[in-house]
Amino acid sequence: MERKVFLLTGAAGFIGSNLAHFLASQGHFAVVYDKLTYAGNPASLDGIPLDKFAFVQGDVCDAELVYQTLCRYGIDAVFHLAAESHVDRSIDGPSAFIETNINGTFSMLAAARRYYETLDEERKSRFRFLHISTDEVYGSLGDKGYFTEETPYTPNSPYSASKASSDHLVRAWFHTYGLPVLTTNCSNNYGPRQFPEKLIPLIIHNALAGKELPVYGDGKNVRDWLYVEDHCRALDTVMRFGVPGETYNVGGSCERQNIQIVKTICSILDELRPKSGGAKYEEQIKFVKDRPGHDRRYAIDASKIKSELGWQPQETFESGILKTVKWYLDNQSWIENILNGKYRCERLGLGGSAQ
C-alpha cells in the first residue's frame, strides 16, 4: 500500500485518535491538527510510533494556519473530524457549535481549496477532503425505517443543525468549486478513548465509582451503535474508493435502547469486576428527566457503502462492547487524568514535528 500523508483535524479526540492509530498501523503518516479543547486529550495518541505522526496545535477556524500546515507536510488528503459533538452542551451553549462546526468547516474548505489549486494535475487527481458527519442531521425516526443518503435533513438540536449546515457547505464546495470532497454520516460510535461525558464511558466510570447510572426519560431511545475501529475502516475505505461528491452512511446495524446498553454494561461488570456481597451494578440505575428535543430513534441504512465499496463492520455489538469495557477497566488512569484535569496540562509524547 502506498504511504500517504493525511491531515486529521480533531484527532486528539475520540474518533480522530482511533483513526490516527489505525492509519499508522497501515503505514501512513498522520498530521494531527487539534485545538486541544476540553475533549482533546494528547494521551489518546500514546502508542503511535513517533515516525508515523506529527502534532500541530491549531484552530480549524484559522484558515491560514490550516493552509500552511497543508503545504508544509505536502498533505495527500484530509479527514475533517474536528467538531463540537455533545448534544447536551449544544443545548446549554450553542455558540461554540456554530463557530467550530459551521465556521470551522468553512475555513477548512477555503484552505483546502487554496491548497488544491497549487497542486499539479497528478496530485489533484489523488487529493480528497473527507468530511465526517453524523446521522443526527436526519432527525428522528419512528419505530420503523432507516436513514438513507436520500433522507431529508431535519435536525432537532443545535448540534445536529450545525452539522447539517457543515454538510451543505461541503456539498457546495464540490458543486461550485470542484473540490473533490466526500461526506460520511455515521451512527453512534463507541470504543476506546471516548470522552467520559458520553453514555458508555460515563456508565462504566459511574458504576465502578458506586455512583448513580443516569438514564434519560424511560431509557427506550434507540441508537444504532458502531464500534469505532469499524468506523475507522469505513473512513479508510471511503477515502480510497469513494466517488467525489458522494455521501456514504456508516452504521453498525446494532440497534439498542439506551436502557439495554446500560444493563449490558452492568452485566459485563458483574462478571469482570463483581461487587462485594453479591450486589449488582443494575441497582445503581436511576431514570432522570429527559433532555429537550431528545430524538427517539436513529438507525442507519449502510447498504450503499457495503454494496458499492465493499465495507462491512467486523464487530457485533456483543464483541465490541466487551472489548470496550475491558479497555476502560485496563486504562483507568486515562479516565482519572481527565476527571482530575491532569490531561489538560500534559503536552508530552506528541512526537513527530510538534508545534
Say whether 135 is catalytic: yes
Three-state secondary structure along 262-302? HHHHHHHHHHHCCCHHHCCHHHHEEEECCCCCCCCECCECC
The amino acid sitting at 24 is A
For residue 29, the cross-strand partners are 5
| 270, 281 contact by CB (below 8 A) | yes
* C-alpha to C-alpha distances, 24 to 50, 153, 215, 286, 306, nearest whole angstrom: 10, 35, 37, 41, 24
Helices 317-330 & 258-272, crossing angle to 10 degrees?
50
The DSSP symbol for 52 reads S
Geometric angle at alpha carbon 136, from 131 and 140, rounded to 5°:
155
Say whether 76 is catalytic: no
Annotated catalytic residue: which of 76, 135, 229, 301?
135
Annotated catalytic residue: which of 115, 146, 159, 281?
159
Handedness of CA 179, 311, 257, 336 (dihedral sign): negative
- What cell was used for 276? 462485594
Write out the E strands in 207-246. Answer: 213-216, 222-227
Annotated catalytic residue: which of 136, 229, 230, 236?
136
- List, as one string, the DSSP characters of 110-177: HHHHHHHTTS-HHHHHH-EEEEEEEGGGG----SS--B-TTSPP---SHHHHHHHHHHHHHHHHHHHH
Say whether 159 is catalytic: yes
- Rounded Cα distance between 152 and 245, Å, is 17
* C-alpha to C-alpha distances, 211 to 205, 206, 221, 286, nearest whole angstrom: 8, 5, 22, 10
Q: What are the residue numbers of the active site? A: 135-136, 159
